[in-house]
């Protein structure tokens, strides 16, 4: 390789006396995709905020761009040094046009008026270079998440950035949008841009990464070249233990499986779900797999009464039940963990204590309406201990927690209702590997206690690692079912054959 475009040497950062980074080194070259990995709280975002100028590092470290020492003062200083960062939560103004967003803070004007025409003309070539299928005059509010991501990249290229930082860029993208983004990232690498790519998704790192730097607890713990990028190596560096202990599955599905608890029979919604049936027994973990758009979440919504059904019925422990709302489902023992915890699950500006107790407020009320705060505090403290929720105390707002701890708070709320059935929709989405392992352990312990668990997941290694049976959906139908056996372990090939219809071609 040529000389590095970026060198960070001995970079540290403290907040109120607590070390968030401890003498971290990072070297990045032009024309490479450098993956930056680590659990939530490992220091990745802090390091990147220092690089982009949002944070000032502690004295003693050094940052060099193209061999020259630089002192980055504020985000404008980062931009002047050729550094752009695209955060997971995109920073676009939806009420402005694409061109106005790209020029934001650097607007062109003539005679004191915005030169919108000149700005539209000024970004046209970049949008064409990126293969954009929208106009410079299009309002950002009218764009999809994938298109908005493209606007962020266009803004970085327009200011002639040399280093582009991308923080979990595929979190809100569909599979097709992610594939188009990957193609664009490879194109930018070929054009000589240095890309620092932050992701929890191992498959993305395999697909894109030229090198990987791993942080743990604010320290650099490893740097891997392309040929050394392996899941077991990365996980061991990130969490400090072998990958063999990652998936927790000590419950015995044969010895532990009990009577049928949940039965969904001939469920349909007249649109996506078409005559689907499945059963979940006490003490087993059933996976619901399939491609995006197959109807998995829609089927779960029919079961819990979150969407109207045109046919079908639900039975709980052999008895028909008429569930019309998610609240009614929860009341009879069917709990659903949404795939969108921030929008549909949690109240981010409320405390952990209040979020955990939200579903059982009526149960705790004295004389019908006086809340028992002592009982609520006890429940929250027990949830913190049982699920390993990491926060200063139960009164911290949920919005201040990491993704994994937010997920555990939401799970704690459901478990407070002592459900018979737990439906988990993408339970580890946006969660680092350490928290994933802890959530898998929670699922395993719930199965050992006799809870019937249905897991909807797009992560096939996750499905294979924690499930006893897998029900596969395709185009709104149940395409088939695969059961783990003593001599026939679950595998991705069989699941994908059902999900894509390949088993029909092979027959």
State the CATH number of the domain containing residue 204: 3.40.50.300
Helices (H), 313-423: 326-331, 352-357, 361-364, 373-387, 403-415
Q: Which residue among 372, 392, 418 closes a domain?
A: 418
Quick one: 99 and 110 in the same domain? yes
Which residues lie across from 223 on neighbouring strands?
213
> Which pLDDT belongs to residue 66?
94
441, HSE (Cβ side, Cα atoms, 13 Å): 12
Quick one: 306 and 263 in the same domain? yes
Quick one: 438 and 376 in the same domain? no
Q: Which of 125, 128, 2, 20 is nearest to 67 (CA)?
A: 2
Quick one: 456 and 308 in the same domain? yes
> Which pLDDT belongs to residue 275?
95
> Which pLDDT belongs to residue 224?
93
- Tell me if 123 sits within 8 A of 153, measured CB to CB: no
Cα–Cα distance, 142 to 150 (Å, whole number): 13
- Which domain, by its residues, includes 409? 344-418
* pLDDT < 70 positions in the chain: 1, 40, 172, 239, 241-257, 364-370, 486-488, 502-507
Assess if residue 188 is contained within a domain: yes
> Which pLDDT belongs to residue 502?
63
> Which pLDDT belongs to residue 40?
67
> Which pLDDT belongs to residue 261?
97
Quick one: 304 and 436 in the same domain? yes
- Tell me if 193 sits within 8 A of 82, measured CB to CB: no
Assess if residue 324 is contained within a domain: yes
Cα–Cα distance, 87 to 164 (Å, whole number): 11
Q: How far is CA 50 from CA 24, 46, 55, 79, 133, in A?
A: 12, 6, 5, 12, 34
Q: How many CB atoms lie within 10 A of CB 18?
A: 8
Cα–Cα distance, 315 to 88 (Å, whole number): 41
Tokens, residue 39: 């659990």
> Which pLDDT belongs to residue 237?
84
Cα–Cα distance, 432 to 45 (Å, whole number): 13
Assess if residue 1 is contained within a domain: no
Residues with Cβ < 8 Å from 497, sequence gap 6 or more? 503, 506
Quick one: 39 and 51 in the same domain? yes
Residues with Cβ < 8 Å from 423, sequence gap 6 or more? 300, 303, 304, 334, 335, 336, 337, 453, 454, 456
> Which pLDDT belongs to residue 248?
65
Cα–Cα distance, 153 to 170 (Å, whole number): 13
Quick one: 263 and 191 in the same domain? no
Tokens, residue 348: 């981010």
Could you tell me the pTM of the whole model?
Answer: 0.64
Contacts of 314-322 spanning 24+ positions with Cβ under 8 A? 314/262, 314/263, 314/264, 314/265, 314/267, 315/260, 315/262, 315/263, 315/265, 316/261, 316/262, 316/263, 316/420, 316/421, 317/259, 317/260, 317/261, 317/420, 318/259, 318/260, 318/263
Q: Which residue among 242, 265, 289 closes a domain?
A: 242
Q: Which residue among 242, 270, 286 closes a domain?
A: 242
- Tell me if 185 sits within 8 A of 209, measured CB to CB: no
Cα–Cα distance, 198 to 169 (Å, whole number): 8
Helix (H) or strand (E) holding 151: helix 145-158
Quick one: 260 and 363 in the same domain? no
Q: How many CB atoms lie within 10 A of CB 16?
A: 4
> Which pLDDT belongs to residue 505?
43
Assess if residue 338 is contained within a domain: no
Assess if residue 71 is contained within a domain: yes
CA angle 282/285/286 to nearest 5° reads: 105
Quick one: 66 and 149 in the same domain? yes
Residues with Cβ < 8 Å from 18, sequence gap 6 or more? none
Q: What's the number of domains the chain is made of?
A: 3
Instruction: Give the 3-state secondary structure of residue 277.
Output: strand
Quick one: 123 and 271 in the same domain? no
Quick one: 318 and 185 in the same domain? no
Quick one: 106 and 169 in the same domain? yes
């Amino acid at each position: 390789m040529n000389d590095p475009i970026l060198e960070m040497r001995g970079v540290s950062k403290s907040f109120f006396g607590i070390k968030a980074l401890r003498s971290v080194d990072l070297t990045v070259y032009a024309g490479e995709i450098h993956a930056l990995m680590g659990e939530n709280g490992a220091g990745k975002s802090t390091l990147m905020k220092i690089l982009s100028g949002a944070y000032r590092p502690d004295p003693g470290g050094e940052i060099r761009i193209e061999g020259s020492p630089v002192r980055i003062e504020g985000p404008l200083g980062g931009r002047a040094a050729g550094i752009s960062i695209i955060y997971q939560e995109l920073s676009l103004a939806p009420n402005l046009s694409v061109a106005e967003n790209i020029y934001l803070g650097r607007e062109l004007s003539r005679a004191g008026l915005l030169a919108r025409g000149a700005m539209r003309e000024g970004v046209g070539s970049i949008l064409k270079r990126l293969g954009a299928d929208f106009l410079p005059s299009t309002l950002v509010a009218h764009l999809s998440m994938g298109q908005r991501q493209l606007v962020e990249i266009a803004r970085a290229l327009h200011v002639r950035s040399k280093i582009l930082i991308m923080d979990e860029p595929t979190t809100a993208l569909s599979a097709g949008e992610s594939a188009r983004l990957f193609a664009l990232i490879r194109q930018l690498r070929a054009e000589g841009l240095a890309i620092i790519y932050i992701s929890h998704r191992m498959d993305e790192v395999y697909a894109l990464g030229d090198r990987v730097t791993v942080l743990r607890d604010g320290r650099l713990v490893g740097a891997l070249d392309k040929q050394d990028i392996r899941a077991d190596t990365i996980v061991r560096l990130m969490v400090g233990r072998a990958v063999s202990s990652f998936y927790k599955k000590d419950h015995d599905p044969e010895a532990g499986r009990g009577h049928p608890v949940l039965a969904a029979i001939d469920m349909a919604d007249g649109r996506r779900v078409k005559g689907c049936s499945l059963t979940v027994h006490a003490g087993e973990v059933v996976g619901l797999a399939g491609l995006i758009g197959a109807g998995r979440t829609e089927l779960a919504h029919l079961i819990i009464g979150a969407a109207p059904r045109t046919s079908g019925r639900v039975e709980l422990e052999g008895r028909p039940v008429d569930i019309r709302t998610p609240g009614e489902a929860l009341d009879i023992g069917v709990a659903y963990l949404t795939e969108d915890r921030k929008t549909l699950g949690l109240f981010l500006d409320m405390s952990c204590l209040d979020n955990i107790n939200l579903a059982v407020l009526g149960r705790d009320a004295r004389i019908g309406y006086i809340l028992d705060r002592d009982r609520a505090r006890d429940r929250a403290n027990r949830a913190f201990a049982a699920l390993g929720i990491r926060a200063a105390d139960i009164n911290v707002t949920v919005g201040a927690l990491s993704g994994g701890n937010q997920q555990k708070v939401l799970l704690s709320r459901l478990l407070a209702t002592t459900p018979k059935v737990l439906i988990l929709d993408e339970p580890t989405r946006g969660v680092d590997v350490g928290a994933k392992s802890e959530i898998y352990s929670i699922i395993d312990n719930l199965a050992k206690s006799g809870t019937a668990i249905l897991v909807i997941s797009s992560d096939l290694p996750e499905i294979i690692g924690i499930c006893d049976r897998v029900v596969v959906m395709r185009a709104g139908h149940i395409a088939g079912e695969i059961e783990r056996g003593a001599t026939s372990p679950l595998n991705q090939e069989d699941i994908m054959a059902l999900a894509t219809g390949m088993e029909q071609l092979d027959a």
